[in-house]
Amino acid sequence: MHTAAGSQARLPIRSDMDLVWVRQHVRQAAAQLGFGLVDQTKLVTAASELARNTLVYGGGGTMETEPLVEGTTRGLRLTFSDDGPGIPDLEQALSDGFTSGGGLGMGLGGARRLVHEFGIESTPGAGTTVRVTSWVGRPPRPREES
C-alpha cells in the first residue's frame, strides 16, 4: 500500500465553519478517487461525526487526509487528532447507541460502521486519534457480533 498523489491535506478543526470545510474536502477527495455517491456520503457522514467529536469533546484539532493505492484499488484514509481530555471508556464509547449528547447521535460506533477500517487511540488527559479508511468498490465490513 502506498500514498497516492492528490488530495493529501491537513485541515484545522476549530469552529463550526471548519466542519463545513472538512465535509467539502472529504467529498471532493472521495469523488476524485472514484468513490460512488453512496460511498462518498458514507465517508462524509463518518467524517462529519468524527470532526464534530474532535471539536466538541477534544476542544479542536486536525483532520489529515491521505489518498491510498493498494494494487489497483484506491482508498482514502482520514485521521482526526486532538489534545483533549481523552475517552475514559473506549468500549462504552464504541457501543451502539452510546452518546454523550449533541452531534448526529450516531457516535463512534455509527462512524465505525460506515468505513472499512477503523482505529482509535485515546489516553485520558492526552487526547484522542481516530483513523478511518474506506476503499473504492469494496463491500462493507460485516457487522461485528456482540
User: Over its length of 146 residues, how does the chain's per-residue pLDDT go in tens digits?
Assistant: 566 556 689 999 999 999 999 999 999 999 999 999 999 999 999 999 999 999 999 999 999 999 999 888 999 999 999 999 998 888 878 876 655 555 445 788 889 999 999 999 999 899 999 999 999 988 766 555 44
Determine the Cα–Cα distance for residues 64 and 76; give it in Å rounded to an integer: 10
Report the SS3 class of residue 53.
helix
Is 3.40.50.300 the CATH number for 10-135?
no
Residue 145 identity (one-letter amino acid): E
The reported pTM is: 0.87
Beta strands in 4-138 (DSSP E): 9-13, 61-70, 73-82, 117-123, 127-135
